Amino acid sequence: MKRIKLLILLPALFTSFFMLVFTGCNSNVNKNKNSVEVIKPRHPEWSKKSNIYEVNIRQYTPEGTINAFMRHLPRLKAMKVDILWLMPIFPIGEKNRKGSLGSYYAVKDYRAVNPEFGTLDDLKRLVKECHKQGMYVILDWVANHTAWDNAWATEHPGWYEKDENGNFKSPYDWTDVIQLNYNNADMRKAMTEAMRYWIVNAGIDGFRCDVAGMVPVDFWNNAKEELDKTKHIFMLAEDEENVELLKKAFDMNYTWKMMHLMNGIAKGENKAGEIQDYFKWNNELFEKDMYRMYFTSNHDENSWNGTAFERLGKAFEVFTVFDYTIPGMPLTYSGQEAGNNKRLRFFDKDTIDWIKIPYSGFYAKLNELKHNNKALWNGEYGGSFNILDNMGNENIFAFYREKDNNQVVTILNLSDNPVQFGLEEKNIEGKYHNLFSGKTINIENGYLFDLPAWGYVVLTK
């Protein structure tokens, strides 16, 4: 009898165990109307091998319009750009405006296009053309605050935080904006629906969310869940250390720590060995499926702290190669491919000079490598990350990554002196293709590389 009972129970036990494991390993399990289990991927499928490019519409062309920017799409497609992050395209507040044109982040109307940039139809054409070209578009979203003259301030004053005298509050010294109140459920709903508006009416693919860490995590979690009902979107958080943001709402966040470390190494204030300490911290804090965005510049760094060329000097290329080959998604800011070395004014017109574009091929080569080599894909889609022994040379940072039959070896000289470096690692012996020289080399134990100041080698197998 006992044996019979056990045999009867086994199918049920097996089914229960299977369902427990199946649902426990993936929190994105939904049921369709026929009650068939459907697994929703953690990230949009198209993001797994993507790079990202930040577009400053105002400064991109003399016209500073969406339509004028569209003329650059064939060039960006040739550069193999994947995700276009558009800085805020909304009307800018006039009350307490800074400069002649104001800050993009002082939003006057969440459901309109800045007439200086164009119209909703212009944006729709841009998104449609990007999709046709195999690119994706995310909008910069400002959920923490609005312009003083946003209609919400008049129609719904309870949607804002107030000081002890009952007046609107500005966060920090951002005197051109006022702080929203996330204790108000109606405001939260209106914010989510404003985000949905652009998914429905313009076909955008996600959002980069300004100062995301200043907005409650539960708002982002609820908003993402609601917005994904319309379209599975990509979310980038302007935040670095709040891991809770990445557990449900966001696909990717920032890496300021690494950017500051790169600046320090370029200036001789830090050593290459500190990069290992960074990755120890990074790997303890973040799960592998959490995308991290690496960059040498963005709109804030460029305008307020100096261009990538100003901060990194001759180390610009080697750190760009670093960003592209470590685990994470690389960002390019408007004008970097042109070697732009001026701080673009933030509140006034200041057009990028596109007469020469010396780094276009450099970025295209790195983007193509990321597309074609699974070892460099994002998050769990990518390969292992193995730091190589620098053989006592504190200026060398070398590593290899591998996934399936794909392998990439990166060797970086993070100093202003030439270095000769020998590899002694059994796992990277054999024939390799040098990405930048185009030559084939045969690595054997003790193979020597001659690296110039701030030199780099990227090998594929």
* Span 9-55, pLDDT tens digits: 334 433 433 333 333 334 444 444 444 444 557 899 999 999 999 99
Q: Can you give the residue ranges of every domain in the chain?
A: 2-39, 46-381, 386-460
**What is the reported pTM?**
0.91
CB under 8 Å to 417, separation ≥6 — which residues? 395, 453
Write down the pLDDT at residue 32.
44
Whether domain 46-381 has CATH 3.20.20.80: the reply is yes
Distance CA(403)–CA(381), nearest Å, equals: 9
HSE-up of 311 (CA within 13 Å, CB side)? 23
| Third-level CATH fold of 386-460 | Immunoglobulin-like (2.60.40)
Write down the pLDDT at residue 444.
83
By the 8 A CB rule, do 163 and 222 touch? no
Write down the pLDDT at residue 11.
40
Write down the pLDDT at residue 447.
83
Write down the pLDDT at residue 21.
37
Identify the segments of the chain with pLDDT beneath 50: 1-38
